[in-house]
């Protein structure tokens, strides 16, 4: 009976989420274009947010997001992750996942300790989409940075052949694949719509959020103010980026043993738990059938997670 109630509740949550997304998709195309234009103006001027200007399926949540100033950051993150979700839809998805996890656990474990476990799992479920978005952002940024050297080489060759800057960018966008070609085409679209080269470059830099691209944009902006040979500047930036990649590879090689040690330390308790369960299942079952065992498992999970993040932060060396 508990599983049936949980299934019905989860289906109701999914229907609510589908209705909210469908309500946004059914708006006329003109209203959608007006919404995008006002959202872009708000993001540039900084005097408004998406949730304030666009009708929301859940106005109360939208006002809460706007009051806390989270919508702008979530809009930037979703754009960098190449997702078409709006902040209110993103929040609703995270809330539904958290509510689903809490409901399932609380219906299965009807006890005070079950409430604690349900709250912990609901928190984890609420944060899972955020980790997924950040993972997509990192993959996309790495993809752009991996294509940036070749794109700069094409632009420098085009400059030596007498092409204008916009023509060099267009040629690089045609020769390169996504994701960098997508960002270059968006920059060309901004230029065609009347934006200045400086504004288009800064907008692309803000959308991507890459340190290498920031170096390139800074060099181009300085060149447009002081003059000089842009092809030579791009070659120098390309050489600098190659040196940075070489140093990153050396650091990764030098820290390989430390990263392996950290992985072994984090995985060793899991391996021992599996071994003890295979040898004596009755003894290990006390870890998840008694209150003391569940508390010990929770403490281990928290400490192990803190250890993983601590080691990652120690080994993350900025160049």
Residue 63 makes CB contacts below 8 A (sequence gap 6+) with 51
Dist CA 317 CA 301 (whole Å): 26
Distance of CA 150 to the CA centre of its chain: 25
State whether 93 and 193 are in the same domain: no
Could you give phi then psi for residue 229, rounded to 5 degrees? -90, 105
| 61 in any annotated domain | yes
Full residue range of the structural domain in which residue 78 is found: 2-108
Residues 69 and 22 in one domain: yes
**Whether residues 13 and 78 fall in one domain:** yes
Does residue 269 share a domain with residue 208? no
Q: Residue 163: helix, strand or coil by DSSP? A: coil
Last residue of a domain, one of 63, 91, 108: 108
What angle do helix axes 87-108 and 2-25 make, rounded to 10 degrees? Answer: 170
**194, part of any domain:** yes
The model's pLDDT over 5-24, given as tens digits with 9 standing for 90+, comes to 444 455 455 555 544 444 44
Which among 213, 234, 250 is the end of a domain?
A: 250
Question: Is 114 a domain residue?
Answer: no
116, part of any domain: no
In which region does residue 82 sit, left (phi positive, over 0), alpha (psi from -120 to 50) or beta (all else)?
Answer: left
pLDDT tens profile 117-128: 788 888 888 988
Q: Of 166, 192, 176, 175, which is closest to residue 143 (Cα–Cα)?
A: 176
Q: Is residue 129 included in any domain, yes or no?
A: no
- Per-residue pLDDT of 161-179, as tens digits, reads 888 888 888 888 888 888 8
286 shares a domain with 218: no
- CATH number for position 161: 1.20.81
Q: What is the residue-wise DSSP string for 275-292? A: HHHHH-HHHHTHHHHSHH
Give yes or no: residues 160 and 190 share one domain. yes
Same domain, 182 and 264: no
User: Does residue 184 lie within any of the structural domains?
Assistant: yes
Would you give the DSSP letter of residue 318? -
pLDDT recorded at residue 57: 40
Interatomic CA distance for residues 141 and 212, integer angstroms:
10
In a domain, 203, yes or no: yes
Last residue of a domain, one of 229, 250, 271: 250
Clarify whether residues 210 and 303 are in a common domain. no
Q: Are residues 261 and 211 in the same domain?
A: no
Residues 276 and 192 in one domain: no
**Per-residue pLDDT reduced to its tens digit, 44-87:** 444 333 333 333 344 444 444 444 567 778 888 888 888 888 88
Total structural domains in the chain?
Answer: 3
156 and 177 co-located in one domain: yes
Model pTM greater than 0.85? no
- Domain membership flag for residue 115: no
159 & 244 share domain: yes
pLDDT tens string 260-297: 888 888 888 888 888 888 888 888 888 877 888 888 88
The answer to whether 238 touches 152, Cβ cutoff 8 Å, is yes
Q: 65: closest CA among 85, 51, 79?
A: 51
- CA–CA distance, 129 with 313 (Å, rounded to integer): 21
């Amino acid at each position: 009976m508990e599983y049936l109630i949980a299934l019905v509740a989860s289906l109701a949550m999914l229907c609510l989420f589908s209705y909210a997304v469908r309500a946004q998709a059914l708006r006329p195309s003109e209203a959608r274009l007006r919404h995008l234009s006002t959202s872009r103006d708000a993001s540039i001027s900084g005097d408004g947010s998406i949730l304030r200007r666009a009708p929301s399926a859940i106005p109360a949540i939208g006002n809460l997001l706007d009051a806390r100033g989270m919508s702008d950051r979530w809009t930037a993150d979703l754009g960098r992750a190449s997702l078409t979700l709006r902040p209110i839809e993103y929040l609703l998805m995270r809330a539904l996942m958290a509510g689903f996890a809490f409901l399932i656990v609380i219906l299965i474990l009807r006890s005070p300790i079950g409430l604690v476990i349900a709250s912990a799992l609901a928190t984890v479920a609420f944060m899972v989409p955020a980790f997924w978005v950040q993972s997509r952002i990192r993959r996309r940024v790495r993809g752009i940075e991996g294509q940036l050297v070749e794109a700069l080489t094409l632009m420098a060759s085009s400059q030596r052949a007498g092409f204008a800057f916009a023509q060099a960018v267009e040629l690089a966008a045609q020769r390169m694949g996504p994701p960098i070609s997508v960002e270059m085409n968006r920059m060309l679209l901004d230029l065609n719509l009347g934006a200045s080269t400086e504004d288009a470059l800064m907008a692309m830099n803000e959308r991507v959020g890459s340190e290498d691209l920031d170096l390139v944009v800074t060099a181009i902006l300085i060149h447009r103010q002081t003059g000089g040979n842009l092809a030579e500047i791009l070659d120098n930036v390309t050489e600098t980026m190659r040196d940075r990649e070489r140093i990153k590879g050396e650091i990764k090689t030098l820290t390989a043993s430390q990263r392996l040690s950290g992985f072994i330390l984090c995985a060793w308790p899991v391996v021992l738990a599996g071994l003890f369960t295979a040898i004596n299942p009755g003894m290990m079952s006390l870890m998840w059938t008694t209150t003391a065992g569940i508390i010990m498992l929770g403490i281990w999970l928290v400490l192990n997670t803190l250890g993983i993040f601590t080691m990652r932060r120690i080994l993350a060396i900025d160049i």
